Chain A
Amino acid sequence: MAVDPITSQVIQNRLSGIVQEMQNNIFRTGYSTIVRESQDASCMILDSEGEVVGEHVILPLHIAALPEVVKAIKKVYSGRIFPGDAFITNHPYVSGVTHSIDMAVVIPVFIGDALIAYCASIAHKSDLGGMVPGTGSGNARELFQEGIQYPPVKFMDQGKVVEEVEAILRANSRTPDVIMGDIRGQVGTGRLGEERLKEVVSRYGLEVVLETFSDLQLKVERRVRSVIASWNDGTFEAETWVDNDGIQLDVPIKYHVRIEKSGERILFDFSESAPQTLGPLNVRPPLVRGCCYYAMVAMIDPELPNNGGLARVIETKFRHGSVLDPIYPAPTNTYMASATAVTEAVLQAMNGLVPEKKIAGMGGVGGMVIGGKRKDGSSYVQYELIGAAYGARNGKDGVSGVSVLLDNAKTAPIEVLETEFPVRLRRFELITDSGGAGQYRGGLAVRREYEILTSKAQLTLRGGKHTEPAFGVDGGMPGRLGACIINPDSEGSRDLPSRFGGEELKEGDVLRIEKAGGGGLGPLSERAWEKLLGDVLDGYVSFQSAQSDYGADPEKLKSAIAAWNGEE
């Protein structure tokens, strides 16, 4: 039986609507700043095989993780999944979870005795144990240092909370109330999805809904294949670099892709990437595939549903023991830097297929955690994700101060941070000249400066681009490097690398984080005068740089600035 295109569209809209409802619910009820302020959480509906059928993307990488999670649950619990169950897991190897500080919560959906779908969510947690507050240490050398690992287990068994599991969760977190509040919210969110999906089934009939599940994937698969077929055949390569793995600070890590495109097939071969790292830069293949999905959607049509159909088209090849296919139990907690670097390599290589879309390097990603005790003795974990900058795109400057590519975290409000944590923000500003110069300028990065207001705290950074800048394209310049400095402009000033864990901070210390700027695109001499002048007026480009990098005539610039300021 074929479902007509109209019913199919109707059900697709409904599924996406349900996921939006779930998403709203998770943020509104969230307890941790990472969920409610940074919105590091995604929801999804998957079919009984674990393929995505309903999505409303918040964080693109989560899309790749949840199918693996569901498949792991099916494997472990085959024949023992019942209505009212709720599964949790955070295991990067067993369940394909992004990193072990993300917790997936999965609710099976039954119609009668038939398990027809899963409503799932994945959300960052404030702390699940491990070496440092916030769990993920940039110095971790194996998975076991990255918090407690939960393979798929039942958090709820046929409607009842499994008290032993809750007790273990609570006993292994520095912030038990916060993580339980968030997990409760995730379970409630899954139940909401379950209820809504059942309404859809009772409205349209089970057969039609199931048929639509496979139909939606088939449509995407066909469309993607036909777009691929329209591209020229060939082999395209690109590579990108990340500073270091947090352990061997002088060894940059290489990410390499070779795309082989032939007819309607496309293969992404990553086998020439660096060996797996001692430190936590490793990222597992399902997530690298997620990077490929993202790049394909971005290049083909940002409105393309990112469902199981896309997964069927993408072929990938990895070398076991490489940074992109690490051997258990290699650490993975700063995987996001790798995922971003891989995506940039893929986008660059795809430029051979889609020559009209060019993008310079991004200012990178990364989280920062300060944790310790407040003066009243209570523990806290201040978890922040701070956006960096986009590289320039052909025809457009890069975006300043924004999460890039697969990352989409919101920057936490200063007023929330200062109210909840012993910290004061001294600076939060765009960094002049941080965007790579070019005909199209890279986006500007931000600088954040914190004063520590408690006697003892630990700092963990999962940053990047302290030594490998965002690359420029077609004559554009690289972006400015990032930095992490304790007590800058003072005698005891110390520079820290882009990833580490557990650096001790004391009261009165000043922590300066500088994100990296985006790369520029096109020759500097082609920069439009009005844009250059605007940048100088706005303080995005210094007078100095306009003169020495862009070659602007200083007298002309001076008189234009004076004219704008209303001076004669």
Chain B
Amino acid sequence: MSWLVGIDTGGTFTDLAAVDTETGKICTVKVPSIPANPAQAVMNSIEQLVAEYPVSWSDTDLLAHGTTVATNAILEGKGARAGLFINRGLGAIYPMRAGMHPTGPDLIDPYYTKPPELVSRALTREIRGRIGFDGQELEPLEREDVVRSALELKEQGVNSIAVCYLFSFVNPSHEQATREIISEVFPQCRVSISSDVLPVIREYPRLSTTVLDAYVGPVVSEYLEELASRLGNAGLNTQRFYIMQSSGGLKRMSLAVRYPNETLLSGPAAGVVFCQKLSEQSGFGNLLTFDMGGTSADMSVLLDGEVEETREGSIAGQDLGTPMIQIRTIGSGGGSIAFLGKDGLLKVGPESAGAVPGPACYGRGGTLPTVTDANVVLGYLSVDNFLGGRMAGNADLALKALSGLSREVRIDEVALAQGILKIVDTQMAVGLRMALMERGADPRDFVLVAFGGSGPVHAVRLGRELGIDKVLIPRFPGIACSMGLLNTVVKYVYLQSFITRFNSADPSAIAEGFEELRAKAMNDFRVEGLSNESSELAYQLDVRYPRQGYELSVDLGSRDGLPIIDLESTRERFHSQHHGYYGSSAPDEEPEIVNLRLVLRGELPQMKWSDPEVEPGDLLKGHRDAWFDSAGKYLSTPVYYRSRLAPGVQVDGPAIIEQTDSATILDPDSYLVVDNFGNLVIHLSGNVKG
């Protein structure tokens, strides 16, 4: 027997999914996360797996891990003591942070403060040497500056240095030489150079990303090395130990430590990747993904089964240009607190009761009304089913928490509960709609996939709010991220700046540029131990209209592993892609190539999806009263066991489907059909009952 194991560290829980490679049997574990010692929580999840299931740890064939270590280092300010090397005279690039306020209240607030610099001015050094925009050397790199600066920073206890010079994305030689020199005089120091981390134009985002890399680097490598050694001691034999990247691909642990900034969205990315698998299974190409937990909701768009990538993210105000899955996070979750705003309107969140004290109905001392409390009052969630009945809840406490606010708003608790849900749903719907807008997509063409503990509860209402017809609830909504870890590929992205108009582009120069990128890719390919059959190279050009500042990636296609360079047809594809994204195009203009981009994908052993296990027994668990807007009252609503719904079964609304980590709510005008993989496909209209 051999197992594929995915372990995802979340804010509240660490989830594990283990899949038998032969039979497809799925074992799931959920243990509390330990923010101060995340490796311990990972080990705990494994111990529980071995204790509860007939799994031998040494039979693990592949382990994939989503981690929050890098993110937490930033959120808590616990990264490395890092230094920064920049060009002489250009010390304002980092502290200026482009000089703009973020939008929203910070823009207006005269008390606004910039996010903290992760490297202080005192640990920043200016180095002589300059590259021009065309890659020509204008001034040679001053070796002495590098040597002296490295030794100074060494004295000051720095153990990680970021290097970002102008135009290194065109000509990286000064940055590379700087790294060499540092490694000669201060070999213990970790060095992040911007031409490796993010070789694209715009110095500030590149610098900020490189600083992030240097800042989290030592923390991430320490964590991963410790974890690897503990896993080894526990009997893990496989070399296939992977870390999830923000881009949704896996990297071998030994390579992942080289690019720690790429793990910043490790967890949420896995959830989106899981949806990509669902898209394949269900045949629904266009998915809107919705992962709602206790404190926040993550959203993303899959168009024709493809995830959307962004290169303008930020974590806690720190700007990050690394390609990552476009994930929109908003502060709405089950724990979001409702209150009366100063303008007399009802507000929900972003303040959250979190895991401690949690919603009032958890009975752990919370007294403020939360979204989960509203869901309890309206009968959607049962306090007897928290964590599958392993956690005792108290419905009276939910009601009590709402009654204080209901006096302030002057409506009864039930109306208030409805109001709380409407508001939180609207906020989430605005986020989902924004996510769709950026793809120029119409919600009516999409299926909503809801997961996370709270996602399935809100799914049908959100679907209606957005004008979506179908909602998909995966078999295990609470561990979707760890399942995602087992359903992805190895992925590397290589970039090279290549600025030229289409009509003056030299196809052979493009081919040469790609050949260089391919050589890099083949090197990683060998380290990963990939095979030709299981891997693929995708060649793309990043293109824009000459005056624009932002590019779209256009696929070139390939033959025998080499790019097909047909500029004519690529130009046409760009025009139509631009029209698709922004609703306009300028076919009379000659587009401009900005970057060559090469994506290496390698297949891993994939989990086998067997027929879902169906627990025998009566489908119906009982009835309880639940409020439905369309009825305008509480309806006695049947409650079903999720684990007993076999493929092909149809359930008509109103209905509640309960499982250990979530509940799915069907309103009276909807019905669901269980698909062959055990997912619930909910139809919001065209209710053909019976």
Binding site for B on A (CB under 8 A): 5-10, 12-14, 16-17, 20-21, 23-25, 28-33, 36-37, 39, 56-58, 60, 177-178, 181, 184-185, 188, 191-192, 219-220, 222-223, 294, 297-298, 301-306, 347, 357, 359, 386-387, 390, 393, 396, 399-403, 405, 408-411, 413-416, 418-419, 424-430, 446-447, 449, 537-540, 564-567
Query: Do A220 and B343 touch across chains, with their CB atoms under 8 A apart?
Result: yes
Q: Is B505 an interface residue (CB 8 A)?
A: no
Contact of B122 among A37, A58, A564 (CB under 8 A): A564
Contact of B99 among A30, A393, A409, A565 (CB under 8 A): A409
Query: Do A401 and B92 touch across chains, with their CB atoms under 8 A apart?
Result: yes
Give A299's nearest chain B residue, CB to CB: B110
Q: Is B157 an interface residue (CB 8 A)?
A: yes
Closest-CB distance, B247 to chain A (whole angstroms) = 21
User: Please, which residues of chain B bring their CB within 8 A of the CB of A425?
Assistant: 90
Q: Is B112 an interface residue (CB 8 A)?
A: yes
Closest 3 CB pairs of A and B: A387-B99, A31-B547, A538-B121
* Cα A420 to Cα B549 with chains together (Å): 11
Closest-CB distance, B487 to chain A (whole angstroms) = 31
Give A303's nearest chain B residue, CB to CB: B105
Binding site for A on B (CB under 8 A): 89-93, 95-101, 103, 105-114, 120-122, 132-133, 138, 152, 155-157, 166-167, 201-204, 342-347, 409, 418-419, 422-423, 426-427, 430, 433-434, 437-438, 499, 545, 547-550, 582-584, 586
User: Please, which residues of chain A bring their CB within 8 A of the CB of B201?
Assistant: 413, 415-416, 419
User: Please, which residues of chain B bring their CB within 8 A of the CB of A430?
Assistant: 91-92, 95-96, 121
Contact of A10 among B91, B426, B437 (CB under 8 A): B426
Closest-CB distance, A66 to chain B (whole angstroms) = 17
Contact of A5 among B95, B138, B346 (CB under 8 A): B346
User: Please, which residues of chain A bring their CB within 8 A of the CB of B112?
Assistant: 390, 399
* Cα A223 to Cα B345 with chains together (Å): 11
Some 18 contacts from A to B, beta carbons below 8 A apart, are A5-B344, A5-B345, A10-B422, A24-B438, A31-B548, A33-B549, A387-B96, A401-B99, A402-B100, A403-B99, A405-B110, A410-B100, A411-B96, A411-B100, A414-B93, A419-B201, A564-B122, A565-B155
Query: Do A428 and B90 touch across chains, with their CB atoms under 8 A apart?
Result: yes
Query: Do A13 and B427 touch across chains, with their CB atoms under 8 A apart?
Result: yes
Query: Do A409 and B100 touch across chains, with their CB atoms under 8 A apart?
Result: yes
* Cα A62 to Cα B90 with chains together (Å): 32
User: Please, which residues of chain B bring their CB within 8 A of the CB of A178?
Assistant: 547
Query: Do B204 and A413 touch across chains, with their CB atoms under 8 A apart?
Result: yes
User: Please, which residues of chain A bring their CB within 8 A of the CB of B157?
Assistant: 566
Closest-CB distance, B89 to chain A (whole angstroms) = 4
Query: Do A39 and B100 touch across chains, with their CB atoms under 8 A apart?
Result: yes
* Cα A498 to Cα B96 with chains together (Å): 22
* Cα A5 to Cα B107 with chains together (Å): 27
Known A-B contacts A401-B95, A408-B100, A418-B132; A294 and B166 likewise in contact (beta carbons under 8 Å): no
Since A31-B548, A219-B344, A428-B92 are in contact, a sample of 18 more A-B pairs with Cβ atoms closer than 8 Å, ordered by chain A residue number, is: A5-B345, A9-B345, A9-B426, A10-B423, A21-B434, A25-B582, A181-B547, A184-B586, A390-B110, A400-B96, A403-B99, A403-B100, A405-B110, A408-B100, A408-B101, A415-B202, A539-B122, A566-B156
* Cα A16 to Cα B430 with chains together (Å): 9
Known A-B contacts A30-B549, A31-B547, A430-B95; A188 and B108 likewise in contact (beta carbons under 8 Å): no
Among A17, A177, A405, A567, residue most surrounded by chain B Cβ atoms (within 10 Å): A17
Give A405's nearest chain B residue, CB to CB: B110
Query: Do A223 and B343 touch across chains, with their CB atoms under 8 A apart?
Result: yes
Closest-CB distance, A300 to chain B (whole angstroms) = 9
Query: Do B583 and A426 touch across chains, with their CB atoms under 8 A apart?
Result: no
* Cα A381 to Cα B550 with chains together (Å): 20
Closest-CB distance, B659 to chain A (whole angstroms) = 30
Known A-B contacts A24-B437, A57-B108; A538 and B120 likewise in contact (beta carbons under 8 Å): yes
User: Please, which residues of chain B bring their CB within 8 A of the CB of A191?
Assistant: 583
User: Please, which residues of chain A bring their CB within 8 A of the CB of B93?
Assistant: 414, 428
User: Please, which residues of chain A bring their CB within 8 A of the CB of B108?
Assistant: 57, 60, 294, 297-298, 302, 306
Give A32's nearest chain B residue, CB to CB: B547
Known A-B contacts A60-B108, A387-B96, A430-B91; A399 and B113 likewise in contact (beta carbons under 8 Å): yes
Contact of B133 among A37, A304, A415, A564 (CB under 8 A): A415
Query: Do B122 and A31 touch across chains, with their CB atoms under 8 A apart?
Result: no
Query: Do A17 and B499 touch across chains, with their CB atoms under 8 A apart?
Result: no
Give B157's nearest chain A residue, CB to CB: A566
Query: Do B100 and A302 touch across chains, with their CB atoms under 8 A apart?
Result: no
Contact of A298 among B109, B114, B166, B427 (CB under 8 A): B109
Query: Do A429 and B92 touch across chains, with their CB atoms under 8 A apart?
Result: yes
User: Please, which residues of chain B bring their CB within 8 A of the CB of A181?
Assistant: 545, 547, 586
* Cα A454 to Cα B273 with chains together (Å): 51
Query: Do A402 and B548 touch across chains, with their CB atoms under 8 A apart?
Result: no
* Cα A563 to Cα B155 with chains together (Å): 11
Query: Do B344 and A60 touch across chains, with their CB atoms under 8 A apart?
Result: no
* Cα A427 to Cα B166 with chains together (Å): 12
User: Please, which residues of chain A bring their CB within 8 A of the CB of B204?
Assistant: 413
User: Please, which residues of chain A bring their CB within 8 A of the CB of B101?
Assistant: 402-403, 408
Query: Do B113 and A396 touch across chains, with their CB atoms under 8 A apart?
Result: yes
Closest-CB distance, B201 to chain A (whole angstroms) = 5
Closest-CB distance, B23 to chain A (whole angstroms) = 47
Known A-B contacts A302-B105, A414-B90; A188 and B583 likewise in contact (beta carbons under 8 Å): yes
Closest-CB distance, A294 to chain B (whole angstroms) = 7
Known A-B contacts A5-B409, A401-B99, A430-B91; A418 and B550 likewise in contact (beta carbons under 8 Å): no
* Cα A532 to Cα B391 with chains together (Å): 52
User: Please, which residues of chain A bring their CB within 8 A of the CB of B419?
Assistant: 5-6
* Cα A21 to Cα B433 with chains together (Å): 9
* Cα A188 to Cα B582 with chains together (Å): 8
Known A-B contacts A387-B96, A411-B99; A36 and B548 likewise in contact (beta carbons under 8 Å): yes
* Cα A5 to Cα B410 with chains together (Å): 11
Contact of A410 among B99, B203, B430 (CB under 8 A): B99
Closest-CB distance, B524 to chain A (whole angstroms) = 27
Closest-CB distance, A23 to chain B (whole angstroms) = 8
Closest-CB distance, B22 to chain A (whole angstroms) = 48
User: Please, which residues of chain A bring their CB within 8 A of the CB of B409?
Assistant: 5
Closest-CB distance, A473 to chain B (whole angstroms) = 13
User: Please, which residues of chain B bring their CB within 8 A of the CB of A185?
Assistant: 584
* Cα A400 to Cα B433 with chains together (Å): 36
Known A-B contacts A21-B434, A401-B99; A393 and B342 likewise in contact (beta carbons under 8 Å): no
* Cα A17 to Cα B299 with chains together (Å): 15
Query: Do A566 and B155 touch across chains, with their CB atoms under 8 A apart?
Result: yes
Give B437's nearest chain A residue, CB to CB: A21
Contact of B103 among A7, A14, A57 (CB under 8 A): A57
User: Please, which residues of chain A bring their CB within 8 A of the CB of B586?
Assistant: 181, 184
Query: Do B121 and A540 touch across chains, with their CB atoms under 8 A apart?
Result: yes
Give B117's nearest chain A residue, CB to CB: A538
User: Please, which residues of chain B bring their CB within 8 A of the CB of A302?
Assistant: 105-109
Known A-B contacts A29-B584, A403-B99, A429-B91; A414 and B110 likewise in contact (beta carbons under 8 Å): no
Give B550's nearest chain A residue, CB to CB: A28
Closest-CB distance, A93 to chain B (whole angstroms) = 28
* Cα A297 to Cα B548 with chains together (Å): 34
User: Please, which residues of chain B bring their CB within 8 A of the CB of A410?
Assistant: 98-100
* Cα A298 to Cα B157 with chains together (Å): 42
Known A-B contacts A29-B584, A419-B499; A17 and B547 likewise in contact (beta carbons under 8 Å): no
Closest-CB distance, A220 to chain B (whole angstroms) = 7
* Cα A357 to Cα B114 with chains together (Å): 19
User: Please, which residues of chain B bring their CB within 8 A of the CB of A5?
Assistant: 344-346, 409, 419
Contact of A188 among B132, B545, B584 (CB under 8 A): B584
Query: Do A446 and B167 touch across chains, with their CB atoms under 8 A apart?
Result: no
User: Please, which residues of chain A bring their CB within 8 A of the CB of B343?
Assistant: 219-220, 223, 304-305
Give B204's nearest chain A residue, CB to CB: A413
Give A538's nearest chain B residue, CB to CB: B121
Known A-B contacts A36-B550, A396-B113, A566-B157; A219 and B345 likewise in contact (beta carbons under 8 Å): yes
Known A-B contacts A396-B113, A425-B90; A37 and B549 likewise in contact (beta carbons under 8 Å): yes
User: Please, which residues of chain B bring their CB within 8 A of the CB of A57?
Assistant: 103, 107-108
